[in-house]
Chains A and B, each alone.
Chain A
């Protein structure tokens, strides 16, 4: 090879390299636009976030979000509405942002999944084909754990554990209650959506009673001997609601509330004691939303998943996230669902739009409000392993913190709420 020809060869190499680079870049671009159908069932913290991130990541993908309600009322912060710290409107969100982004939002109820044909059927009659299906249905109730408690009974004794109309029923009942009345709360057995939720709710109801219904009582008949953030809540209750909240552990009631009579407004404990309530908030035992069972993804009440990406261990091309999944140490919370959704979005984009798949990272933080400007938090990051254990990062607010720090923690929760709902609904 002569000097001259070697020079040409080098230049040619450079040109070929550049051409290869350009063609790869063009190829990647076309691929990144994506081709394929993604169906997501459930428009909450998990499903909304996946829809947003997948559509944003690959606008060419056909993304359909199936949600039974035209508007979404968040469970998180619904206790603050009961306490009078948030309006109902402020916790209710539209799907307009997702629609504007190009997500096909279908207000319907998914009734069937054919995992062989890879289709979803809707109550309205439509059939949707998918390449990847994401199930994020949240919870359903296990009626039957408390005798006499049913969907009908819940109209008089609201659970308010799916936010919306039920939350408003409970609020109206509290407002209509006479001063000096009795509120009875029956928290659910483990595992359930939002572990600190019942105790934040107790705090918020007590705050409302203290200001508006003097002389009233709130009796919590718990089927569990201990609960999330217990020391923090009990410290707060002693300081603010000493004469209002009475938490009764299961050994004093024979295991909590076992029977209700919604017409008579009475609850009966495992020990056989019957108590009359002015307002009864009965939160039943829970399981994954119905569609995961129909799809064959569940093993008992909940769905086993692969920790690396929350794909179902039972059915190919289906992911299960949020409350419905078995995430071991990771609690059932909106924050968890949002965190899992990000890993799923990355996995879907890798499969259908040629994006790079990164190792999973999971995180949760749960804030609770005890009284005005008195917020506490608990959180951790989780390792994507068999037990989803916390990695050297677990934290919880301390008892005896200053009022200034508690106020800051509460204010953090306000910022988190805005950021997270922006992400869920592609707002802002």
Chain B
């Protein structure tokens, strides 16, 4: 047990400072990580935007604004044979998990312009 009240307060403050410092560091690295993933996703998205455009409403649909899980599940359906468009099967199979996640994070971050 800590001794005096002064020491207790000091210890609390120390812990608080530690928590703030580590939280800040964690938040900073998390933000940097998310930003890096989004940046990677934006780069990878170049492969999608040759065909998919925002505002499209025809055979090749717009893909901006999808929730992360929805995008990942959709790509899964091309990888597991549930959907069979040859071009999309080829795209989905050429991407690894990390790349699909980066793409999902990027597309989720883009607000659709609509038609």
Contacts and interface: CB of A to CB of B under 8 A. Distances in A.
Interface of A: 3-4, 6-7, 10-11, 13-14, 17-18, 21, 53, 335, 338-339, 342, 346, 355-356, 358, 361, 363, 365, 377, 379-381, 391-397, 408, 411-412, 414-416, 418-420, 422-423, 428
Q: Is the interface of A mostly helix, strand, loop or mixed?
A: helix
B55 A395 contact: no
Given A358-B40, A415-B60, A419-B49, A14 B87 contact: no
A392 B93 contact: yes
17 contacts: A6-B17, A13-B21, A14-B21, A339-B50, A342-B43, A342-B46, A356-B36, A358-B43, A361-B94, A377-B86, A393-B91, A395-B86, A412-B51, A414-B58, A414-B59, A419-B49, A422-B53
A342 B43 CA distance: 8
Contact of A415 (B43, B46, B58): B58
Contacts of B52: 419
A379 B90 CA distance: 8
Contacts of A415: 51, 53, 56, 58-60
Pairs of residues from A and B, 10 with the lowest C-beta to C-beta distance, nearest first: A415-B60, A10-B17, A342-B46, A395-B86, A411-B59, A419-B53, A3-B10, A393-B90, A381-B94, A393-B94
A412 B87 contact: yes
Nearest to B43: A358
B41 to A, nearest CB: 10
Contacts of A391: 94
Given A7-B17, A381-B94, A423-B50, A416 B86 contact: no
B47 A363 contact: yes
Interface string B1-33: 000000100110110011011001100100000
A10 B18 contact: yes
Contacts of B43: 342, 346, 358
Nearest to A4: B10
A295 B44 CA distance: 31
Given A339-B50, A363-B91, A414-B59, 5 more contacts: A379-B90, A394-B90, A411-B59, A422-B53, A428-B54
Contacts of B10: 3-4, 7
Nearest to A10: B17
B76 interface: no
B50 A356 contact: no
B93 A393 contact: yes
Contacts of A13: 21
A10 B21 contact: yes
Contacts, number: 117
B35 to A, nearest CB: 10
Contacts of B90: 379-381, 393-395
A377 B88 CA distance: 12
A363 B50 contact: yes
A419 B94 contact: no
A315 B59 CA distance: 43
B39 A356 contact: yes
A165 B46 CA distance: 32
Contacts of A394: 90
Contact of B60 (A4, A363, A419): A419
A411 B60 CA distance: 8
A392 B94 contact: yes
A4 B52 CA distance: 58
A146 to B, nearest CB: 35
Given A358-B40, A363-B91, A381-B90, A418 B21 contact: no
A18 B46 contact: no
B51 A11 contact: no
A208 to B, nearest CB: 25
A6 B14 contact: yes
Nearest to A356: B39
